[in-house]
Amino acid sequence: MRIIICGAGRVGGSIAQYLSRQNNDVVLIDPEAHRLLDLGDVADVKTVLGDGSLPEHLLEAEAASADMLIAVTASDQVNMVCCQMAHSLFKIPMKIARIRLDSYNDPRWAKMYGHDHVPVDIIISPTHTIVDAIHSRLDAHGAFDVVPLISDRVRVVGTRCSADCPIVFKPLRQLTSLFPDLHITILLITHEGTPRIPTADDILYPGDSVYFAAETSHMMRALQAFGHEYCPVKNILIVGGGNMGLFLGQKINATSRELHTTIVENNQLRARAIAEALPSATVLQGDIMEAEILSNLSPEKFDTIVSLTDDDEVNALSVLMFKKLGVKRGISVINKGIYATLVSELGLDVIVNPPLITVATILRHVRHGRIQAVYPVQDGFAELFEATALSTSHIIGTPLRDLHIKDGIIIGAIVRAGEVIMPRPDTIAQEDDRIVILAKQSMTRKVEQLFSVSLDYF
């Protein structure tokens, strides 16, 4: 697939690296030479120094032969113009744009998008997606990652095995006998920094990281099986009152009347606006790192702190500081991958990485076959897929043991007519099944083939 990416910031660079590793022909356009040089050292991508909204720079990128254009510059307006040039001058079939301003995403103005208007085929609105990702993690104690799939009937959860985890030092095949009513499938184990897709004979050890698929109603019990006791969240502290902080507060207010929210915002005018928009929340104006704010907050009363300012360092340090003062759980928004690796070792419970979430949103539009969602896990070692089996898909009608699914692919769950099925070797997929699969990055094309549509479908 030939893909042009306009914008080599954190998101554009992450997408370029990820897609280039999967044998796509990627061209990256950006006006900042140092961004292109930095990326050229770590990714096999072609680069064009310039502006993706200008025809001559798209021509230099050979836009006429591109299958897709992804516009993720810092400007919504530039992203829209990139798509317009791609459509009007070069007939690029698929145009994806990141649009962050709420005004452009207002349903009242939806008619402005389309081939006869602003030709954006897919709009990525990252703020709401990131807030949803944070919200899904609030009640998942002991989880560092939570991926809701199939209308949240299934969740794929990342957790670490504690020393008193009841299933350590035992082969995975004993999991069913230990917890016969628990609907989970172990998808990925990381031991001493090395990830692998497990077999029934694999053994878990304290400190191992695990991804498992579970029926959503079983998630709490599953985390208890890994040694994490559930603690209800009653008081949450949000650091940063930007759009993410406001939207998270609104989402919490809409879904839970029992959870009290406190928001700390440094800008006085913004703090006042948040207080008016969220009258049920406590809003404090000030710097979270200042002693005056700390004395007004009483940190020990909070169950969870979520730090989502624009500054990775503030997000990491504020959470670590409040955990030291007695807050049980901390969630940090970390944009830079290098920080994500470092702070996880320092003791942060959950790290939310906006570029990764945006990449996941875009990937589902890059994948072929009947694939509804894609989510990279373990630094891109593997991908999670949510896919639908059609009557002509290769996956249906044959017991899973006879499908000759290669090593590196594991089926995590099947949802059929609303019922969640944990797959066994004799399970047979049926038409319209929604299926959760994890595959090593090198096996993603095989997953696409399993769900590809035969020509006779048409």
Burial label for 171, CB within 10 Å (0-12, 13-18, 19+), is middle
Q: Which residue has the tokens 């639908």?
A: 388
CA distance 58 to 69: 10
Domains of the chain are 2-124 (3.40.50.720), 235-356 (3.40.50.720), 357-457 (3.30.70.1450)
pTM: 0.84
The DSSP code sequence of 244-281 is HHHHHHHHHHHH-SS-EEEEEES-HHHHHHHHHH-TTS
pLDDT at 224: 87
Q: Which residue has the tokens 């399993």?
A: 450
What does each of the 458 residues of the chain score in pLDDT, given as a tens digit? 899 999 998 889 888 888 887 778 999 999 999 989 877 666 789 999 999 999 999 999 999 999 999 999 999 999 999 999 999 999 999 999 999 888 888 788 888 888 888 999 999 988 888 999 999 888 888 899 999 999 999 999 999 988 888 888 989 888 878 888 888 999 999 999 899 999 889 999 998 999 999 999 999 989 988 888 877 888 999 999 999 999 999 999 988 878 899 999 999 999 999 999 999 999 999 999 888 888 888 888 999 999 999 999 999 999 999 999 889 899 999 887 665 555 556 667 888 988 888 888 888 777 765 788 889 888 788 999 999 998 888 888 889 888 777 778 999 999 999 999 999 889 999 999 999 999 998 888 888 888 875 433 32
Other CB atoms within 10 Å distance of the CB of residue 94:
17
- Return the closest-CA partner of residue 113 out of 79, 90, 147: 79
For the chain, the maximum distance between any two Cα atoms, rounded to a whole number of angstroms, is: 70
pLDDT at 392: 82
pLDDT at 457: 33
pLDDT at 341: 59
- Return the closest-CA partner of residue 19 out of 56, 63, 67, 51: 67
The DSSP code sequence of 88-131 is HHH--SEEEEE---HHHH-GGGGGGBSTTSB--SEEE-HHHHHH
Which helix (H) or strand (E) segment is 292 a member of? helix 291-297
- Return the closest-CA partner of residue 240 out of 340, 127, 76, 73: 127
- Does residue 35 contact residue 57 with C-beta atoms inside 8 Å? no
CA 68 from centre of chain: 21
Helices (H), 399-458: 444-450
Q: Which residue has the tokens 């594991």?
A: 410
pLDDT at 98: 93
